[in-house]
Chains A and B, each alone.
Chain A
Amino acid sequence: MLRETRKLHRWLMLFAGLQFLIWSISGVYMVLVNIHFIHGESLITKEAQPLPAEAVQYDISALLERYPMATNIRLGLLVDKPVYRFKQNGNDVMVIAETGKVVPAISETLAQRIASNSLQQEQEISSISLIVDNPPSEIGARRLPLWQVKFAGISGDTLYINPHNGEVATIRHNSWRLFDAFWRLHIMDYIEGDDINNILLNVFTIAGFLAVLAGLVLLYLRLTRSNEEEPQL
């Protein structure tokens, strides 16, 4: 029985062993690296500045009269100016809270400033571009256009800024990219990265399950057999 079990364990693991190693390496990375860091929380400044009351001259009731269909109205800062942000027929609109003027889509210079202000640590910007179509896969199905601001540091920090509301839509960095790659390897869905019920994964899970059971039998047999029996030759 020991021999057959050993054979089964070997051949199954010869098939599934590499995936076990991949599961272990990717799993170790995912559990050791803090998920909030992966999400970029530690890269972004936490301290939001309070809203200066004196700069809010244009009241929300006036705004509602002008845009009766406005939804998701928020009053916040655009760099240092209070602005109203809202949705109008599904589009992002921004209105300066001091004057009531509509803010046009933010420029490259402003996008740079927002990006630099958002980062906890000062970094040099290496490139900035407005993404209108063909988005990089790392931002998924987010609405375009977005300003892509890349920083020069080795961590490869990249901020995506919505030009219509001046807010950071998302942040990507090399640790996130590695996490994403490991996640795909972990669930064996290399293209889409979202199907945890794919055939490949199921086949390897079942083979792996049998291999572990065989390993367990081996372990049991090894531990219960005494080693008193000395070699005869």
Chain B
Amino acid sequence: MMFKRIHKWVALIVFVQLLIWLISGFLLGKLDHTLASGRTTFTLTPQAEKAKAQPAYNIQALLRRYPETTEVKLVYLLGKPLYQLVFQKTLHSYQAANDLLIDAKTGKIFILNAQSASEIAMLSYKEQATVSDVEYLEPPIEELTREQNPVWRVSLTDSLNTSIFVRAKDAKIITHVNDETRWRDLLLMLHFMDYAQTGSFNNVIIQFFALATLLLSGTGFWWSIRLIFDHQIRFSWFSKLQSFKVNILKVNEDKVISARKDSSILSALSDNDINIPSICGGGGVCGSCRFSTSEDVEVLPADRQHLNQSLLEEGYRLACQHSVEEISEINIYKSFAKKRRDIS
């Protein structure tokens, strides 16, 4: 019964995380995802603002200056045209890349300063608020774990504590982070066990716990299957009663008791105030709830594990493993006055 032992010990290791997964998963479902994404306060810069100015600096000259360029984008920043030179292509904009911004009128390198960063941040913001702080941050960035490029954080004084992040390399608004976003990210960090704050669920800690949990649910699943096949879990809800005789050897007494056919002998005895030892409470784990019978009762795996061959041949079985309908008379050594250690 290796799987039972594995089930127990693995449970001891993963139960905290199992609860965290269930709770954080549940709470993630309850989030306001639109609010958390920052879309409720975000607005696109008006088209008219973008199309005003025309670039003048020749693009061929630009490519001669920067021969490694793989792509040039024309972007507008507060009505000013800029060339964004891309040197390495990335699939996601958060991945590290050293793009360059060039003033499309003069050809000079453009560096996004705090003033412009906060201006474009406010242009993207729908509501009314004042800027409380503008800060330049290098990755890793606490509130933006995936981002691998330097950013400007423009903090606002609104009820949701919004911070607007502007990527320094391309002057793009990355996102609006508010208290709902922070709550979401905390839940995600817990769900992904991303304590190193990498923004990814491909980390070693969660990989270990995921495999351990697979072992736990795999052994648990196998256990359930065995219980069903060994007829220890029965699906008949309206089972008839059956009587059987119990000989209590120590005091040389016998009793006839009545119980549902599908209940285990152990629980039938205990329901009738006949208490035999049971350390594990009917799991087939401890092997203490022994009875014997002269009748022909099938030997189940748990019987075989806890009782040796001669005991089995003498008719010993575990009371938690067999149901009332399998027997009509059994022997037990003695009955305790009351449930021992199982006073619930």
**Chain A interface residues toward B at CB < 8 A:** 1-6, 10, 13-14, 17-18, 20-21, 23-25, 27-28, 30-36, 39-41, 44, 46, 48-54, 56-57, 59-61, 64-65, 68-69, 71-77, 196-198, 201-202, 205-206, 208-209, 212-213, 215-216, 219, 221-223, 225, 227, 229-233
Report which of B19, B70, B91, B220 forms a contact with A17, defined as CB distance below 8 A. Answer: B220
Q: Is the CB of B282 within 8 A of A3?
A: yes
Report which of A56, A65, A206 forms a contact with B63, defined as CB distance below 8 A. Answer: A56
Closest to A2 in B: B281
- Which of chain B's residues have a CB closer than 8 A to the CB of A77? 70-71
Report which of A31, A61, A197, A206 forms a contact with B202, defined as CB distance below 8 A. Answer: A31
Q: Is the CB of A64 within 8 A of B221?
A: no
CB distance from B217 to the nearest CB of A (A): 4
- Which of chain B's residues have a CB closer than 8 A to the CB of A72? 73
Q: Is the CB of B283 within 8 A of A6?
A: yes
In the bound complex, how far is the Cα of B63 from the Cα of A57, in angstroms? 11
Q: Is the CB of B26 within 8 A of A202?
A: yes
CB distance from B50 to the nearest CB of A (A): 7
Most-contacted residue by chain B among A31, A54, A222 (CB, 10 A): A31
Q: Is the CB of A197 within 8 A of B30?
A: yes
Report which of A48, A76, A208, A231 forms a contact with B88, defined as CB distance below 8 A. Answer: A48
Report which of B50, B224, B285 forms a contact with A14, defined as CB distance below 8 A. Answer: B224
Closest to A168 in B: B91
Tell me how many residue pairs across A and B have CB atoms closer than 8 Å: 198
- Which of chain B's residues have a CB closer than 8 A to the CB of A61? 54-56
Render B88-132 as a binary contact track against A, CB cut-off 8 A, 1 for contact.
Answer: 110100000000000010000000000000000000000000000
Known contacts A51-B69, A205-B22, A231-B277, A212 near B344 by CB under 8 Å: no
Closest to B47 in A: A71
Known contacts A23-B217, A225-B341, A14 near B333 by CB under 8 Å: no
In the bound complex, how far is the Cα of B292 from the Cα of A231, in angstroms? 13
Known contacts A205-B25, A209-B22, A3 near B342 by CB under 8 Å: yes
- Which of chain A's residues have a CB closer than 8 A to the CB of B224? 10, 13-14, 17
Q: Is the CB of B18 within 8 A of A212?
A: yes
Q: Is the CB of B221 within 8 A of A21?
A: yes
Q: Is the CB of B50 within 8 A of A231?
A: no
Closest to A64 in B: B54
Which DSSP category, helix, strand, loop or mixed, fits chain A's interface?
helix
Known contacts A50-B69, A60-B59, A231 near B288 by CB under 8 Å: yes
Q: Is the CB of A57 within 8 A of B283?
A: no
Known contacts A1-B344, A48-B71, A76-B71, A212 near B22 by CB under 8 Å: yes
- Which of chain B's residues have a CB closer than 8 A to the CB of A3? 267, 270, 281-282, 342
CB distance from A199 to the nearest CB of B (A): 10
Q: Is the CB of B290 within 8 A of A233?
A: yes
Q: Is the CB of B342 within 8 A of A1?
A: yes
Q: Is the CB of B51 within 8 A of A69?
A: yes
Report which of A6, A10, A46, A212 forms a contact with B89, defined as CB distance below 8 A. Answer: A46
- Which of chain B's residues have a CB closer than 8 A to the CB of A71? 47, 50-51
Q: Is the CB of A56 within 8 A of B60?
A: yes
Most-contacted residue by chain B among A2, A35, A231 (CB, 10 A): A231
Closest to B25 in A: A205
Report which of B47, B64, B210 forms a contact with A31, defined as CB distance below 8 A. Answer: B210
